Amino acid sequence: MSIRKPVIGVMGPGKTELHTEPVEKHVELATELGKQIASHGWFLLTGGRNLGVMDAACRGAKSAGGTTIGILPGPDALDSSDAIDIPIITGMGSARNNVNALSSTVLIAVGMGPGTAAEVALALKARKPVVLLATQPEAEKFFTSLDASLVHVASDVESAIVHVKALLAAQSEATS
């Protein structure tokens, strides 16, 4: 197991959740984040749909030669992002958000919405480290109040990647 590649989860709103804020910012960040994840040789895991942050992260990862895993909520792959290599079809709706949380070595939220909030909360429940990238201050304060030891805040992709590296190094040390 020591040579298994880390699985980095990138979560964030689909277009349908982004009522009030500019989608372009989070889509740009997610694209760059996906590229960086692939460049570091990590697997990228997302919610798999052809929307918003999850689609953008996968496209970024593919542009850098990465491998992408999509945990789909529906009963088939019809709404899957084209940039998913491995569609996992759960048919369990938003209960699949817990699969996203459990399967990610580190979970990064890019922006925020109800589904993303559930994924962050389920990650904390499972004692998984979380990086909040460009989320609103209310989200940072709330999740930090739930568990300050597991929540890390980043304002750009570079610092998000620095957090991931440190978290992977700490975990590797803990299990060796």
Binding site for a copy of itself (CB under 8 A): 1, 4-5, 7, 43, 69, 71, 75-77, 80, 82, 84-99, 102-103, 112-115, 117-118, 121-122, 124-126, 136, 138-139, 141-142, 145-147
- The nearer residue to a copy of itself, 1 or 174, going by C-beta atoms, is 1
- Residue 71 phi/psi, 5° resolution? -95, 95
- The nearer residue to a copy of itself, 7 or 162, going by C-beta atoms, is 7
- Work out how close the CB of 32 gets to a copy of itself at its nearest, in angstroms, rounded to a whole number: 24
Question: Token match 């088939």: residue?
Answer: 76
- Work out how close the CB of 38 gets to a copy of itself at its nearest, in angstroms, rounded to a whole number: 15
- The nearer residue to a copy of itself, 53 or 122, going by C-beta atoms, is 122
Q: What is the rounded distance in angstroms from the CA atom of residue 145 to the CA atom of residue 149?
A: 10
Contacts of residue 151, Cβ cutoff 8 Å, sequence gap at least 6: 124, 130, 132, 140, 143, 144
Q: C-alpha distances in angstroms, 158 versus 26, 29, 90, 167?
A: 14, 10, 32, 14
Q: C-alpha distances in angstroms, 174 versus 2, 118, 170?
A: 12, 27, 6
- Burial class (CB within 10 angstroms; exposed 0-12, middle 13-18, buried 19+) of 116: buried
- Work out how close the CB of 122 gets to a copy of itself at its nearest, in angstroms, rounded to a whole number: 5
- Work out how close the CB of 158 gets to a copy of itself at its nearest, in angstroms, rounded to a whole number: 26
Which two tokens mark 16?
């349908």
- Work out how close the CB of 62 gets to a copy of itself at its nearest, in angstroms, rounded to a whole number: 12
- The nearer residue to a copy of itself, 28 or 85, going by C-beta atoms, is 85
- The nearer residue to a copy of itself, 120 or 157, going by C-beta atoms, is 120
